[in-house]
């Protein structure tokens, strides 16, 4: 079986756009509600459920309940057959990079001058990032959430769309929290080198590379090859060594750029023996110039790039990356940080910081937009994690929300909570700011906003019954005083 012809590039583009739409589909309800003012159910993102790196991190973190083994395992098995095709055909971050790539017109001019014997190779840093992220997962999957490309895409898309549809007050409060600087840096690097992130840094790609070395899908070069070097020059992943007949399957994403650029139409793709089978990994057994006949077509014997042995230096570097990843999170816990308001059902603070990957799925589905992505409000360890900002919107759990944040959380950082166990914090009135206490004005907005009858008027002034207050924040959201005269504090806060 073989795959040949430029129409495959069109097919690849259609597949990429199709998957990109599927990944963006959970964001559609946000736009629908914004412009139609009608209720529509929210959807949990299925992107992270297919993430093998996240699944492996959850396994190492002993978070078995968050695992959906079937999807990630299926993706890994598929990589044995199709190599790193996921990176070239499905990955949303890779699709974004492919859209950006044609904009760097100056780089294409430089390619013409590029020497054919240029031996620039891809960095092994991605493997060390993979080891560090998995090492850190023994204690926390936070580092994994920072470098996992699917989480990066999910976080950036959620943040930007929520920011776009939020009030101006929300934008002014935390514009930086919604703007993924890491995602922007990855995109900007594309103007320097094609697929820079995929070639040098992506830990997900490194994980798939380990499996893709045994790909059943092969790249083949016919005898019409004139050794012009066009395929090597235009390969965005630099997966073609000096000999154009060879292929580094740990880097090849089967984008078929080499097939399109070949002036002799001498490149095709087909299913055959393992990429590391004897006829590929040991080209010396095939005399120089000998032709191998496969699928009824004469092709030059396809060879895979030799598998590099792990040296002692590589082993020690990997061990260092493992140790570094394991100590990064414990060090962040040494800083003094205030305890913020977390979503209802959130794990205890230290455990929440250990499990949450800051994907911002809960921020996306919050019906009141009260959940926001934190930015230094709870220290370095809490960057990007969800916090309740009652001034922007209270928590409507049990009123108009069926605990959506818990339903979409992919790592069980937010657990189910009953109405009786619903307790985020406690509200407290600042009498120096309250219009009723300070100026004697008859203002009972917080009393009217309270869903739990915890704000009680007494002689025209408001007090809070701490036993009834759950910290939903609607009182703070409705207070007419700039900055609010009534605020919700976490249960363990010393401010109460």
Per-residue model confidence as pLDDT tens digits over 398-415: 777 888 899 899 888 999
Mean of all residue pLDDT scores within the chain: 78
Share of the chain above pLDDT 90, in %: 8
Residues 285 and 429 in one domain: no
Residues 431 and 286 in one domain: no
On whether the CB atoms of residues 476 and 464 are closer than 8 A, the answer is: no
Residues 432 and 287 in one domain: no
Q: How many CB atoms lie within 10 A of CB 331?
A: 10
> Is residue 318 one of the residues assigned to a domain?
no
- 374 φψ region: left (φ > 0), alpha (ψ -120 to 50), beta (else): beta
**Average pLDDT rounded to a whole number, residues 140-149:** 86
Show which of 304, 327, 351 is a domain's final residue. Answer: 304
Confidence (pLDDT) at 418: 79
Confidence (pLDDT) at 284: 37
Rg of the chain, C-alpha, whole Å? 27
> Is residue 432 one of the residues assigned to a domain?
yes
Show which of 244, 279, 304 is a domain's final residue. Answer: 304
Residues 54 and 202 in one domain: yes
Crossing angle of the two packed helices 125-136 and 52-60, in degrees rounded to 10:
40
| pLDDT at residue 370 tops 80 | yes
Distances (CA, A) of 256 to 10, 78, 226, 240, 400: 11, 18, 18, 12, 50
Give the domain extent around 468: 423-496
347 vs 213, higher pLDDT: 347
Confidence (pLDDT) at 301: 43
Residues 427 and 300 in one domain: no
Confidence (pLDDT) at 208: 92
Show which of 282, 304, 326 is a domain's final residue. Answer: 304
For residue 193, how many C-alpha atoms fall within 13 Å in the half-sphere facing its CB?
15
Residues 439 and 295 in one domain: no
| pLDDT at residue 298 tops 50 | no
> Is residue 345 one of the residues assigned to a domain?
no
> Is residue 164 one of the residues assigned to a domain?
yes
**Average pLDDT rounded to a whole number, residues 326-341:** 69
Q: What is the DSSP letter of 470?
A: -
Q: How confident is the model at residue 69 (pLDDT cuts 50, 70, 90)?
A: low
| pLDDT at residue 496 tops 60 | no
On whether the CB atoms of residues 97 and 198 are closer than 8 A, the answer is: yes
d(CA 28, CA 327): 40
**Average pLDDT rounded to a whole number, residues 112-131:** 68
> Is residue 317 one of the residues assigned to a domain?
no
| pLDDT at residue 384 tops 50 | yes
> Is residue 62 one of the residues assigned to a domain?
yes
> Which alpha helices (DSSP H) does 101-148 contain, by range?
105-113, 125-136, 142-147
pLDDT tens digit sequence for 195-231? 999 999 999 999 999 888 888 888 888 878 888 888 8
Confidence (pLDDT) at 311: 60
Confidence (pLDDT) at 321: 66
Share of the chain above pLDDT 70, in %: 76
Please list the residues that pair with 346 across neighbouring strands.
Answer: 414
Residues 99 and 246 in one domain: yes
Look at the chain and report how many structural domains it folds into: 2
Q: What is the DSSP letter of 414?
A: B
> Is residue 366 one of the residues assigned to a domain?
no
CATH number for the domain including 478? 3.30.70.20
């Amino acid at each position: 079986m073989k795959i040949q012809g430029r129409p495959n590039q069109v097919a690849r583009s259609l597949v990429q756009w199709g998957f990109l739409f599927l990944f963006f589909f959970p964001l559609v309800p946000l736009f629908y509600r914004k412009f139609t003012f009608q209720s529509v159910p929210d959807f949990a993102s299925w992107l992270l459920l297919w993430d093998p790196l996240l699944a492996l991190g959850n396994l190492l973190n002993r978070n078995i309940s968050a695992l959906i083994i079937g999807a990630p395992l299926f993706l890994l098995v598929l990589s044995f057959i199709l190599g790193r095709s996921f990176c070239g055909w499905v990955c949303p971050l890779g699709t974004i990079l492919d859209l950006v790539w044609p904009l760097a017109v100056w780089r294409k001019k430089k390619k013409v001058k590029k020497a054919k014997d240029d031996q620039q190779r891809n960095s092994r840093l991605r493997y060390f990032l993979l080891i560090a992220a998995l090492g850190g997962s023994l204690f926390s999957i936070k580092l994994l959430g920072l470098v996992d490309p699917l989480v990066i895409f999910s976080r950036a898309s959620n943040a930007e769309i929520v920011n776009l549809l939020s009030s101006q007050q929300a934008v002014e409060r935390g514009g930086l929290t919604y703007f993924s600087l890491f995602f922007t840096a990855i995109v900007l690097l594309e103007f320097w080198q094609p697929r820079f992130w995929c070639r040098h840094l992506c830990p997900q790609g490194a994980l798939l590379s380990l499996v893709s070395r045994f790909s059943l899908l092969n790249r083949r070069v016919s005898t019409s090859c004139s050794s012009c070097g066009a395929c090597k020059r235009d390969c965005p992943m630099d997966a073609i060594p000096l000999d154009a007949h060879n292929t580094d399957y740990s880097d090849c994403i089967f984008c078929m750029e080499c097939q399109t650029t070949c002036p002799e139409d001498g490149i095709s793709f087909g299913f055959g023996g393992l990429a590391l089978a004897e006829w590929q990994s040991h080209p010396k057994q095939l005399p120089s110039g000998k032709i191998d006949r496969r699928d009824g077509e004469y092709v030059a014997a396809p060879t895979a790039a030799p598998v590099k042995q792990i040296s002692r230096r590589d082993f020690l570097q990997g061990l260092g990356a493992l140790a570094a990843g394991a100590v990064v999170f414990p060090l962040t816990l040494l800083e003094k940080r205030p305890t913020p308001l977390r979503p209802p059902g959130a794990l205890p603070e230290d455990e929440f910081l250990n499990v949450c990957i800051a994907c911002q799925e809960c921020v996306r589905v919050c019906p009141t937009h009260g959940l926001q992505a934190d930015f230094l409000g709870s220290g370095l360890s809490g960057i990007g994690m969800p916090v309740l900002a009652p001034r922007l919107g209270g928590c409507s759990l049990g009123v108009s929300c069926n605990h959506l944040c818990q339903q979409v959380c992919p790592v069980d950082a937010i657990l189910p909570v009953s109405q009786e166990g619903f307790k985020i914090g406690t509200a407290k009135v600042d009498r120096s700011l309250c219009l009723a206490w300070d100026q004697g004005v008859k203002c009972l907005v917080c009393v009217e906003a309270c869903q739990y009858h915890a704000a009680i008027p007494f002689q025209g002034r408001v007090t809070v019954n701490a036993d009834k207050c759950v910290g939903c924040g609607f009182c703070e959201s409705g207070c007419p005083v700039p900055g609010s005269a009534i605020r919700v504090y976490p249960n363990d806060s010393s401010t109460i």
